[in-house]
Amino acid sequence: MTLEPAAKPRLLTPGPTEVPEASLLAMARQVTHHRTPEFRSLLAEVTAGLKQVFATNNDVLILTSSGTGAMEAAVVNLVPRGGKALVLESGKFAERWRKICEAFGIQVVRYEVPWGEAFETARIAALLAEHPDTVAVFGTLLETSTGMGHDIEAIGRVVGQTPALLVVDGISGVGAMECRTDAWGIDALVVGSQKALMTPPGLAFLAVSPAAWRQIESIPPQAFYFNLLAYRRALQNSDTPYTPAIPLVKALAESLRTIRATGLETTWARSKTLARATRAGIEALGLRLVAARPADGMTAVYFPEGIDGKAFLDRLLGRFGLKLAGGQGPLTGRIFRIAHMGLVDELDVLSTIAALELVLVEMGQNVKLGTAVTAASQVLAEAH
């Protein structure tokens, strides 16, 4: 069989994700100016929508950058050069927290566990007792490199008993799994536009608690474009300090309307069901998951023995237009990753599982066609 590019693209990577048609159309219209009553009112709507999706009453800032820009903004605004940070490291994105801290001369205390495994809260408490001058703890809600959903609620309880601030990378997790920013004591939450928020890449968001603001005000600014005090000042007037990515804000407004119409709890419940169905299919195929506590927003799976992972992913793409993600860092060539966030629905899950079965059979694996689809369908039928 020839592997021509399929006519119908199916993007099931954990970012970027597909964008609803209304959001795409919003971007296709003529550019308008941002210092206008119309845009201010749109920005106020978007900010309110983000607060709802982040489950927070804290200030939410909109940055024109990819998610990593907001991670950097959180680091440089909260921790002074020479200050101390505890990084909870168990994957590619948590590693990025450490690298950003190191780039700004911050002393990093590392709590590292193998990729895909959980942190022990008692160990976090012990490290914070040992390092009482820790300014901030950097964690990850959904570690996209492994599909691990970290227990931020439990981590928040431990950090909340110390003076340290809790900073969470929720870039892919927020909107795809439960995240209660205020109730869990998250002082700075970082989110990106191109994952569960169903918006093209280019915007990032930061929810900042009153305690985090006090810390930001107490240290000399180490950034200009990313000086968060400028964003807070502008926010008071429903404005941004610099020209925002106006078409992306319009797209985001549409995507947030979709999420709010569905409801946050329903959105979370939907990803949970899709994740359970996907895992049932994967298990029926005899494949192994990477994460000890798999997240609701995506699933990371080891390739079966004896399969060329790149050929497997290329075949899914060529034969079905189905784009899944491969592995990163030490997991490169060893795993694949399927998103079930944003626009992904039940039929996407079933067709993905069916495509996996077909390609595994075509690549000589001993798989009985239909077994995994049946297992996934059963979960969907029971959840309905």
The verdict on 301 binding ligand PLP (CB under 6 A) reads no
How many Cα atoms occupy the beta-carbon half-sphere of 8 within 13 Å?
A: 2
- Pick the piece of the chain touching ligand PLP (CB under 6 A) from 65-73, 124-132, 321-329, 330-338: 65-73
The verdict on 68 binding ligand PLP (CB under 6 A) reads yes
- Pick the piece of the chain touching ligand PLP (CB under 6 A) from 22-30, 168-176, 328-336, 350-358: 168-176
For ligand PLP (CB under 6 A), the number of binding residues is 13
Here the tokens at position 76 are: 């440089």
The residues, any chain, with a CB within 8 Å of residue 171's CB and separated by 6 or more, are 15, 67, 70, 71, 93, 144, 190, 191, 192, 195, 204
Give me the least distance between CB of 142 and ligand PLP, in Å please: 6
| Of the candidate residues 169, 187, 348, 357, the single one contacting ligand PLP (CB under 6 A) | 169
The residues, any chain, with a CB within 8 Å of residue 320's CB and separated by 6 or more, are 6, 10, 351, 355
Binding mask of the shown chain, residues 104 to 143, with x at each position contacting ligand PLP by CB under 6 A: ------------------------------------x-x-
Please report which residue ranges of the chain form alpha helices under DSSP H.
21-27, 37-54, 67-78, 92-103, 121-130, 152-159, 210-218, 228-235, 246-262, 264-284, 309-320, 346-362, 371-383
Give me the least distance between CB of 15 and ligand PLP, in Å please: 5
> Could you say which DSSP state residue 240 is in?
-
Q: Would you call 294 helix, strand, or coil by DSSP?
A: strand
What CA–CA distance (Å, rounded) separates 12 from 5? 16
| Of the candidate residues 6, 40, 64, 66, the single one contacting ligand PLP (CB under 6 A) | 66
Residue nearest ligand PLP by beta-carbon distance: 67
- Pick the piece of the chain touching ligand PLP (CB under 6 A) from 165-173, 251-259, 264-272, 306-314: 165-173
What CA–CA distance (Å, rounded) separates 270 from 345? 8
What CA–CA distance (Å, rounded) separates 76 from 32? 32
Question: 264-284 and 371-383 are packed helices; what angle lies between their axes, rounded to 10 degrees?
Answer: 150
| Of the candidate residues 185, 192, 244, 327, the single one contacting ligand PLP (CB under 6 A) | 192
Number of Cβ atoms within 10 Å of the Cβ of 77: 25
Give me the least distance between CB of 253 and ligand PLP, in Å please: 20
Contact between residue 134 and residue 86 where contact means Cβ atoms under 8 Å apart = yes
- Pick the piece of the chain touching ligand PLP (CB under 6 A) from 82-90, 154-162, 164-172, 357-365: 164-172
The verdict on 171 binding ligand PLP (CB under 6 A) reads yes
The residues, any chain, with a CB within 8 Å of residue 358's CB and separated by 6 or more, are 319, 369
Number of Cβ atoms within 10 Å of the Cβ of 58: 21
Give me the least distance between CB of 233 and ligand PLP, in Å please: 25
The verdict on 200 binding ligand PLP (CB under 6 A) reads no
Q: Which is nearer to ligand PLP, 40 or 110 (CB)?
A: 110
Give me the least distance between CB of 328 and ligand PLP, in Å please: 10
Contact between residue 164 and residue 137 where contact means Cβ atoms under 8 Å apart = yes
The verdict on 93 binding ligand PLP (CB under 6 A) reads yes
Q: Would you call 77 helix, strand, or coil by DSSP?
A: helix
Give me the least distance between CB of 201 and ligand PLP, in Å please: 6
Name residues contacting ligand PLP, limited to 253-292 (CB under 6 A): none
| Of the candidate residues 49, 67, 147, 297, the single one contacting ligand PLP (CB under 6 A) | 67
| Of the candidate residues 172, 215, 255, 377, the single one contacting ligand PLP (CB under 6 A) | 172
The verdict on 17 binding ligand PLP (CB under 6 A) reads no
The verdict on 209 binding ligand PLP (CB under 6 A) reads no
Q: Which is nearer to ligand PLP, 168 or 259 (CB)?
A: 168
Here the tokens at position 198 are: 């169903």
| Chain residues in the site for ligand PLP (CB under 6 A) | 15, 66-68, 93, 140, 142, 144, 169, 171-172, 192, 201
